[in-house]
Amino acid sequence: MRRVGNKASICIGRTPQTNGQVESANRVLLRGLKRILDKAKGTWAEEAPRIVWAYHTTPQSTTKETPFNFVYGSNAMIPVEIQENSPYFQNFVVEESNEERKVNLDLLDEVREEARIKVDALKRRMEYKYNSKLRPRQFQVADLVMRKAHPYQLENKLSPKWTSPFRITEAL
């Protein structure tokens, strides 16, 4: 329980400071682990690094960039590319690579800003779609309304999803 002004509130499940990104990433990682572990029971400790690597090197749907690129400023090389007979390894030149890395690091702030703009645009599209489905309702004084119950008010899955009727005392 935490205090906000003169009111107390209960936070269940997650801290109020987070915005859900950690939970979202964990959900993706757990989904990947479940898929792998359906085939290989009891080997989650060996499979976890592969799942995390796959997450870090896969472009995200909102930003079209990999988390690895946001942190290090370049794309990750998968182990197959490091083998000596791969075209990437055969055409590798240290000086060119160093110059390209410096350019990528210089442009990293711009890449991050572009990703932020993409995320903001996605949020605006989602907000517009959500708001287009809302039906505005006008309440009058003395109307009876039901209020949706908070999760901590529900005792079990058969509990009513709405709390008792309330009478409108003032229309704003």
- 85/124 same-domain check: yes
pLDDT at 109 over 50: yes
- Number of residues that this document lists for the chain: 172
pLDDT at 89 over 90: no
Q: Which residues pair with 167 in a beta bridge?
A: 144
Give the C-alpha separation, 105 to 73, whole Å: 5
Domain housing 152: 138-172
Q: What is the pLDDT of residue 113?
A: 92
- 7/22 same-domain check: yes
Average pLDDT for residues 91-108, to the nearest whole number? 85
Q: Which residues pair with 9 in a beta bridge?
A: 2
> Is 6 or 55 the better-scoring residue by pLDDT?
55
pLDDT at 2 over 60: no
How many domains are contained in the chain?
A: 3
Residue 18: burial class (beta carbons within 10 Å; 0-12, 13-18, 19+): exposed
pLDDT at 107 over 50: yes
pTM for the complete prediction? 0.54
- 78/50 same-domain check: no
